Amino acid sequence: MRVLFAAPARLWDAWSPALRAACPEMELCRQGDPACFDALIYAPGYPEDGRVLDFTPFTRARVVQSLWAGVERIVTNPTLTQPLCRMVDPGLAQGMVEYCTGWALRAHLGMDRFAQDGVWRNQLTPPLAQRRGVTVLGMGELGRAVALALAGLGFRVAGWSQSGRPVPGIEVLAGDALPQALNRAEILVCLLPDTGGTRNLLDAARLSLLPPGATIINAGRGSLIDEAALLAALDQGLGHAVLDVFRQEPLPPEHPFWTHPQVTVTPHVSAETRPESAAHVVAENLRRAMRGAPLLHLVDRARGY
């Protein structure tokens, strides 16, 4: 099969050896006649001259495999008629679990309260995890993995998704139960995709439903939270926000998140797609496409993910 690596050039050196090892029957190319490719491996930023990729000439392509989990910058392309698959990488899921559980434990244990100033603060013993309510917004692959990991540590975990699809071992709330999900969230983990239904989901009204002193961990998309409303909520009793994703990245140096005492900024490092594990996901989907088998992680264009 002939496959176009339609991704920024900076990714080639890391991805091409892993992809060729996982799928040796593939002829992986960086350029060529669009009509000759059986599939595309795609990441936004290609082509690198600022143009939006026109998928129309790729008449033979049976699948467009995204290198990233988020596909919001791809599904809006009107020329894309080929099946689109998002990336679900075991390494990415593990990285997200480690990031979210690490920050959740830091918030739960109140680690930042123990200033190294000679003051003995043994009245600040935290409750056990079973007394702490955690809500995970977004119960896709990443949300389910994080929710199960936090439940395994003993937290009282609930998930929320629009559909409310069940997850064994986790209470999952749906749709109109969002206020209930927020009311119980002493720690709120946000892992929703960027869609028309999730943008500014956490506005002033919904942020006000969180318990006083709650911590927000947003590793989903920056568009989920109304930034001005979040800053106001932090000034009015919300505890802390750990933010890994933003509407503009890199986050500009003058942005108020950098200097707010109740905000921790991390530079979009919560989870990374790792070529050594993700290449096997790509290879499996390419083989499925070539033999006409059902594709893995096929994107629902109407839902946007």
Alpha-carbon distance values, 36 to 43, 58, 64, 92 (Å)? 20, 8, 14, 32
Is 280 labeled as catalytic in the residue annotation?
Answer: no
The amino acid sitting at 168 is P
The reply to whether 221 belongs to the active site is yes
CA 173/CA 179 separation, integer angstroms: 10
Q: Cβ(225)–Cβ(219) under 8 Å? A: no
Name the DSSP letter for residue 122: G
- Cα dihedral across residues 64, 67, 71, 77: positive or negative: negative
What are the structure tokens assigned to 102, written together?
Answer: 């690490």
Indicate which residue of 268, 287, 288, 301 is catalytic: 268
**CB under 8 Å to 73, separation ≥6 — which residues?**
44
Calculate helix-pair angle for 12-22, 275-291, nearest 10 degrees. Answer: 50
What's the half-sphere exposure (Cβ side, CA atoms, 13 Å) at 149?
22
SS3 annotation, 134-177: EEEECCCHHHHHHHHHHHHCCCEEEEEECCCCCECCEEEEEHHH
Q: Which of 267, 107, 126, 91 is nearest to 188 (CA)?
A: 107
Spatial contact of 185 and 133, defined as CB atoms under 8 Å apart: yes
Cis peptide before 8, with omega less than 30 degrees from 0?
Answer: no
Q: Which of 132, 221, 240, 297 is catalytic?
A: 221
Catalytic residues: 221, 268
